[in-house]
Structure 1
Amino acid sequence: MSLKTTTKSTLAIAISLALTPLAYADDTTKEEKQIEEVAVIAKKLSYANNTVDQNMIDQQAPMTSVLAIMDNLPGININEGDAFGGDDWSTSITMRGFAIDGQQQQLGMTVDGIPNGGSNYGGGAKANRYLDTDNVQTIEVGQGTSDISSASLDALGGTFNFVSKDPEMQESTTISYTTGSHDAQRYFARYETGEILKNTFAYISYSDSSNSRWVGKGSNGGAKKQHAEMKFVSTQGDLNITGRISYDDVAEDNYNSVTVEQFNATSDWDHLTWNWTGIPHFDQMFAEGWSTLRENTLGYLKFEYAMSDVTTFEVTPYYHKNKGRGDWIPPYIMHPVDANGNLTDKGGEAEFRYGFTDQNGNPLMPAEGCTANYSWPWNSGPGLHAACYDRDAIPVMSYRHTHYAKERTGFTAKAQTTFDNHDLVAGIWMETSERDEHRDWHKVIDARVYHHFDAKPYWTQYELTFDQETVKWYLQDTITFDDLTVNLGVQQYLVDVEKDDHYDSSKDVKVDSDSDVLFSGGVQYQLSPSTEIFAGYSENFSAIKDGVLERDASTVTEIEPETADNIDFGVRYFGEDLSLTATFYKIEFNNRLRFVSPGSSDADGIDYAIGTNGSYINEGGIDSDGLEIGATYKVNNNWELYASFTKNNSEYNDNIGDIKKGQTVIDSVEDMWVVSANYFDGGLRFGASTKYTGERGEADDFIVTDMNLGYTVEFTGNGVKSVDLALVVNNLFDEEYLSSGDGRGNTYYIGAPRTTTFTVNVNF
């Protein structure tokens, strides 16, 4: 990577601090403050943050995605295609007007502090690809402002850090089985080794889960997933070593978004079909042809060394490999030609498409003047209507695959020391990644029979390789003056991304996506032993994604990275029975990126052949402000109550096409509240949680209630140690609602119906 001269000296300082002990540590340090992590409330930091507790984990079934666990935290709205998180395509996360969905990635995500490599559908992977719900310890959420050491290129609006559980000290084996609605079943096993070497403990786990799509019946698609994890921790003198590796292999059939009008007509159908008709125009909506296949392997080794009582150093190298594909079944075959007009199987452009052939396989054109037309589910033109051809014409289809592959290698390093009233931390994150993407088209062997396709593609539309190098450095000083704590930090991202077009070198492009030196700062003041106030400011940054480089190379060099300035003001109270946190925030989001499609409209339906056409542009920004409140109250030894409230106002601050200044941001939620109760008595536990989600554009507000009931029986002796029974019901009252939008503002995904699961867990 070519680093700019103006940053070299600063970067050198950061590397030096991260890789060597700081020389002036005072032997007589201040007494270390106890960081108090109250269930579901917050850590004592100068910015808004929340963590989940075991109650929120119990409210979800073990086969549920780990993303769903944090849905009840203030400010957060999680939506997935079904109650199990069985479809990445329809998954969305919104927080303070920022989103992770099919159109944008504006929130950072890490697993044990390791960057996830992006959360986008094409080549990215969210935390549910790396972590089983049974193995999650907690989730740390930084609303608006992230920890300065967080390793993410997407953290415009905050970060989510998913923390895996550590191995137990005693040898044990856990086996569980889950069964439930929509053919759901899951097998899980985890073996805790106990002490295998001196001060060394480990576990290994495996799960196999599957479920059908809840929409429709019969041959309706679904999700199948195999997942494995291994983790060890070892303490050898002043050195702590942690190693972890996860493997995830999933095949998912997608859910489709619908308009409000379609939902009002049929609230339990996403307009995908489950019977093969032999009519390509209808069969392009066959659910099993809308698929996501992914494999992800992520491993890291973390070395933490105590150089003295006041100085520590850690370094964590990691490796990630991702591969997979996304499927669609267009109701036609393309006729691609090269620059000279000759038929080609690589690159070029589609000269025309055809939906019917004669008995010899020759393309047929519709009869002259034919006006016969399809109108459901959208207009595909008269060229695809059987009435425009002789009765012996043969319908044809394609099976379109977009292949994704990514390899990332990197490390994070951090040094921390204390002297006088200063806590200093300095660190660096470096990563090199290569991502390959290509799209090929296969002929469906006989569209009249089924979607079986020829393994050899008839056309590879494009083939791209993206190389990216990332460096982030940071410095932070936390200064304590009795009841007042002040922290000051600086960080910078230096990102180079380059595209290699294997078929057309004129489309190669390279972009330096470097940030300015970004400032963050905050204060905490302890009003009393139980009450503190805080205020924080941060300059957040999102690097230009390699997906932007897929498009028109002539416009890419004009793109500016997205930025956001975040301000938090808040109060925290930690009483004997009541814990509460309230935060007011204000955010200015600039240089928002939007994809401009090349002349298509939603009325035309899916543009399967869009390829790498279109472009991204910076347009205006978003202003957000709001209030987040979260509280936990311990009624007595048996009952605990939790509540959260969110008021968010996110508006566009410029006129953007059809969007007007002051208009509410697409898919952002203005009002949310949660009320939850949990009961414990010996081995019995019970919980119920109700969440209200306000209007989003044309989608109405809705209320969903979840319920869980569990009982644990303990045994003595050398055999079975415990048996746990758990019942979870999501959407208890079977509410019909539209959950999240697809990021475009005109269609939404249908919320999952009542879903029940029952789990038997045996520990021995």
Structure 2
Amino acid sequence: MYAFTNKSVLSMAIAMAISTSAYANDNNNKNDKENEIEEVTVVAKPTSYANNVIDPAMMEQQSSVSSVLSVIDNLPGISINEGDAFGGDDWSTTITMRGFSIDGNQQQLGMTVDGVPNGGSNYGGGAKANRYLDSENLETVEVGQGTSDIKSASLEALGGTFNFISKAPSFDKGTTFAYTSGSNDASRYYFKHETGTIFNNTQAYVSYSQTETSRWVGSGSNGGKDNQHGEVKFVSDFDELTVTGRLSYDDVSETNYNSVTIEQFNQSPDWDQLTWNWTGVPHYDQMFAEGWGTLRENTLGYLKFEYALSPLSTFTVTPYYHNNSGRGDWIPPYLASPVDELGNPTTEGGTNAGSYGFTDTNGNPLAPNALCTATLSWPWDSGTGLNPACYPDTAIPVMSYRHTHYEKNRSGVTANYQLSIGMHDIEAGLWYEQAERDESRDWHKVINASVNQRFDDTPYWTQYKNTFNTDTFKWYAQDSMALGDFTLNLGVKQYLVDLDKYDHYQGATTAEVNSDSDVLLSGGLLYQATDFIELFTSYSENFSAIKDGVFEADSSDLSAIKAETAENIDLGIRYQTNALKLTATAYSITFDNRITFIAPGSDAGGIDYTIGTNGTYLNVGGIESSGLELSANYMVTPAWSMYTSYTNNSSEYKGNAPGFTAGDAVIDSVEDLFVISSDYYSGDFRLGLSAKYTGERGDVDSYTVLDFNTGYSAEVETGPFKSIDIAFVVNNLTGTSYLAGGTGNGSTYFIGAPRTAALTFTANF
């Protein structure tokens, strides 16, 4: 194997070395280094843009049942909210950073796994990192706030990126078994086998987990999460060539949490308005929790080939494949009456000519009593006459079970070339991907709405069926120049994105758009002022391509929609010694051409289940964000460490649109975030406490959540076990009641999870 002298690789090694505890002993043994990785504490890498890497203690603050998204919540500028403490519902997951969001309506932050693109973070055909990676197999997370790594493969990286890195296989053979039991009927089994070194050049592991939880809201028949997850990874060394392969599979069924208004929360802060007992009255049963579901399967695999062309140059190529399939469920309190363009009844395509919630004993639709509907109105009625008081006693209630089906196939490749020559570190590469996404929606009749939600497998109406194709090509180049104590970075990149929509009922391509970016510039300057202090500044132009979701709204004027762009400026300082690490970053961001969905007019009191392809996407100004991020990590003693971070962020809208005006604070953006945590280690025993303050968001009150963790880990010299570990985690220790992430519209929010505990026993043998 060539001895690498690449400056970028060397700088990473130095960063990891100076970030290691002052009390950790230097050891050149390869296996010992692998064991020591858990002791590495990195606040930020020495780059010209703001970034953070998680501290291993942040992983211990979350139970193994929790999703991998939760471990980055204490980093500066970031707010992670999931429907419960275990990440049991993708529908209610929200992520915000510097005024940018990932939620049900917006995807403005990039996400990758081992540098491989995740395929988007949206609900319909996307998948966040928790679908690809179990918490036990997570090595670390690299976060680029504002300005991302130039080679990051994402079409959503307006406000930064998250790169989740999986653990490398061990050089030692071993097997791990873990069992977790927790609040809300949580149980989890985890198994992992490490092969150690085989064939003299290969290490590999295989893991499997099964997780079950119940919704924390309500009781009885209330739904929850059922998740099967498997991973395989190997690394093989062939002199100058290293081959890494990874395959993950995830199959999950989730019952959703519902968002509520501030008024509803104040009335009942532990109820999301969903019900857990079937009543036989469609008006109530449309809110039956088990009728609100997310079912997904995700398979992602890649092969990475890293070839040392010379002692000064490397070439890496990573082909990958991803399949995403599943559906989203909803349970409308009526049957639809679909008709074609001529007004004739149809089972495919067309529009809904009307709805009815009750029939006679022969199945004929009944009209509500005119006097009754004129004087009696229910919430969510929307004019369909859902009140049983409006019908004779012999009337039979009817309901639908609405399925939206998602299928996505992606295949692509990333390639990167690095060369160190003189004062230059040169990097260039590309990303190419072809993605095909199918989406259809069908309506099934609930067999007997008086009894339960069971539905007829054969749909009575398939509302639409479309295929979306996206071709993506990105190229980039960057030169990092060492100029004494200064390092200057200059880079360019460009995205070339083509999208089209094929309507299966029209039998034609009905929409297509080119979403190419301009050549985007980036640059940065890093100054090593002393052995302990470095100053940095950077500028980057970021880009988010038009999503295929805009094709779902038939009335959108595609020729008028522009891709979203952002200009990011960072200015900061880092101070690092063996015991103390400080980072301060000031930033300014201008976000233009914000794409927003404008829903069609409907009854304000009801859910529009038949919205289908109605509505419009358009550009509505943008956002301006500025703020300050601070973080510190201090080793008080060899056994005791303290961590804190503070963020002050101001994000305001530019331009007017329904729901806000220019100058208004961005919905769901938090002005103040403050974290303080402490971790103590004494021999085999550990103890941690973490508190996070989240400031006000518009009319939503501020709140503070306290998390507690403790554990015991020990080597075992007798019996079949090599070591054991017992971990106990309590999230929201004080039982704070609060509203967490929003839906992006400023009117409803998800209720924060209550006190939640989990106990995990792990055995290695």
Common fold by TM > 0.5: yes
Could you tell me whether the CA contact under 8 Å between 1:509 and 1:553 is conserved in 2? no
How many angstroms does 1:719 deviate by? 2.6
Q: What SS does the aligned partner of 2:373 have?
A: coil
More off after superposition, 101-110 vs 591-600: 591-600
1:732 paired residue number: 733
Q: Any residues of structure 2 matched to 1:100-499 within 5 Å, and which?
A: 100-371=102-373, 377-381=379-383, 383-499=385-501
Q: Measure, in 2, the Cα distance between the counterparts of 1:27 and 1:235.
A: 19
Could you tell me whether the CA contact under 8 Å between 1:569 and 1:585 is conserved in 2? yes
Q: What SS does the aligned partner of 1:604 have?
A: coil
Could you tell me whether the CA contact under 8 Å between 2:424 and 2:481 is conserved in 1? yes
Q: What SS does the aligned partner of 2:372 have?
A: coil
The one-letter code sitting in structure 2 at the alignment partner of 1:403 is H
More off after superposition, 658-667 vs 582-591: 658-667
Q: String of CA shifts for 1:468-513, please: whole Å, max 9, x gaps.
A: 1000000000000110000000000000010001113577101000
Q: Measure, in 2, the Cα distance between the counterparts of 1:169 and 1:30.
A: 26
Q: Would the alpha carbon gap of residues 264 and 319 (structure 1) be closer, same or farther in structure 2, given more than 3 Å must change?
A: same
How many angstroms does 1:557 deviate by? 2.3
Correspondence for 1:590 among 589, 592, 599: 592
How many angstroms does 1:381 deviate by? 3.1
RMSD across aligned positions (CA): 1.5
Q: String of CA shifts for 1:248-305, please: whole Å, max 9, x gaps.
A: 0000000000011110110000000000000000000000000000000000000000
Q: Measure, in 2, the Cα distance between the counterparts of 1:30 and 1:337.
A: 63
Q: What SS does the aligned partner of 1:118 have?
A: coil
1:666 paired residue number: 667
The one-letter code sitting in structure 1 at the alignment partner of 2:521 is F
Q: String of CA shifts for 1:295-354, please: whole Å, max 9, x gaps.
A: 000000000000100010010000000000000000000010112211110001111111
Q: Is structure 2 residue 603 aligned with structure 1 residue 609? A: no
Q: What SS does the aligned partner of 1:587 have?
A: strand
The one-letter code sitting in structure 2 at the alignment partner of 1:656 is A
More off after superposition, 561-570 vs 605-614: 605-614
1:10 paired residue number: none
How many angstroms does 1:40 deviate by? 4.3
How many angstroms does 1:28 deviate by? 11
Q: Would the alpha carbon gap of residues 47 and 354 (structure 1) be closer, same or farther in structure 2, given more than 3 Å must change?
A: same
2:15 paired residue number: 36
Q: Measure, in 2, the Cα distance between the counterparts of 1:523 and 1:540.
A: 18
Long gaps (5+) in structure 1: 1-25
Correspondence for 1:542 among 541, 544, 553: 544
Q: Measure, in 2, the Cα distance between the counterparts of 1:304 and 1:620.
A: 43
Q: Measure, in 2, the Cα distance between the counterparts of 1:506 and 1:315.
A: 36
How many angstroms does 1:414 deviate by? 0.5
2:626 paired residue number: 625
How many angstroms does 1:89 deviate by? 0.4
Could you tell me whether the CA contact under 8 Å between 1:438 and 1:461 is conserved in 2? yes
The one-letter code sitting in structure 2 at the alignment partner of 1:580 is L
Q: String of CA shifts for 1:411-464, please: whole Å, max 9, x gaps.
A: 000000011100000000000010000000000000000000000000000000
Q: Measure, in 2, the Cα distance between the counterparts of 1:579 and 1:452.
A: 58
Could you tell me whether the CA contact under 8 Å between 2:401 and 2:455 is conserved in 1? yes
How many angstroms does 1:633 deviate by? 0.2
TM-score (norm 2): 0.95
Q: What SS does the aligned partner of 1:659 have?
A: coil
How many angstroms does 1:593 deviate by? 0.8
Q: What SS does the aligned partner of 1:89 have?
A: helix
How many angstroms does 1:375 deviate by? 5.6
Could you tell me whether the CA contact under 8 Å between 1:372 and 1:387 is conserved in 2? no
Q: Measure, in 2, the Cα distance between the counterparts of 1:539 and 1:139.
A: 23
Correspondence for 2:529 among 515, 527, 530: 527
Q: Measure, in 1, the Cα distance between the counterparts of 2:615 and 2:8.
A: 58
Q: Would the alpha carbon gap of residues 373 and 704 (structure 1) be closer, same or farther in structure 2, given more than 3 Å must change?
A: farther
Q: Measure, in 2, the Cα distance between the counterparts of 1:30 and 1:303.
A: 19
How many angstroms does 1:659 deviate by? 1.5
Could you tell me whether the CA contact under 8 Å between 1:231 and 1:244 is conserved in 2? yes
Q: What SS does the aligned partner of 1:264 have?
A: helix
Q: Would the alpha carbon gap of residues 495 and 367 (structure 1) be closer, same or farther in structure 2, given more than 3 Å must change?
A: same
2:678 paired residue number: 677
Q: Measure, in 1, the Cα distance between the counterparts of 2:7 and 2:563.
A: 41
Q: What SS does the aligned partner of 2:539 have?
A: strand
Q: Measure, in 1, the Cα distance between the counterparts of 2:216 and 2:378.
A: 22
Q: String of CA shifts for 1:552-597, please: whole Å, max 9, x gaps.
A: 2551221100000000000000112110111000000000011011
Q: What SS does the aligned partner of 1:281 have?
A: helix
Q: What SS does the aligned partner of 1:557 have?
A: helix
Q: Measure, in 2, the Cα distance between the counterparts of 1:165 and 1:605.
A: 47
Q: Measure, in 2, the Cα distance between the counterparts of 1:267 and 1:444.
A: 31
Q: Would the alpha carbon gap of residues 317 and 553 (structure 1) be closer, same or farther in structure 2, given more than 3 Å must change?
A: farther
More off after superposition, 543-552 vs 515-524: 543-552
TM-score (norm 1): 0.95
The one-letter code sitting in structure 1 at the alignment partner of 2:746 is G
Q: What SS does the aligned partner of 1:36 have?
A: helix
Q: Measure, in 1, the Cα distance between the counterparts of 2:99 and 2:700.
A: 16
Could you tell me whether the CA contact under 8 Å between 1:489 and 1:520 is conserved in 2? yes
Q: Measure, in 2, the Cα distance between the counterparts of 1:506 and 1:722.
A: 62
Q: String of CA shifts for 1:196-234, please: whole Å, max 9, x gaps.
A: 212100000000001000000001110010000000001
Q: Measure, in 1, the Cα distance between the counterparts of 2:370 and 2:277.
A: 32
Q: Would the alpha carbon gap of residues 47 and 747 (structure 1) be closer, same or farther in structure 2, given more than 3 Å must change?
A: same
Could you tell me whether the CA contact under 8 Å between 2:43 and 2:55 is conserved in 1? no
Q: String of CA shifts for 1:589-615, please: whole Å, max 9, x gaps.
A: 0000110111125x2321100001111
2:34 paired residue number: none
Long gaps (5+) in structure 2: 20-40
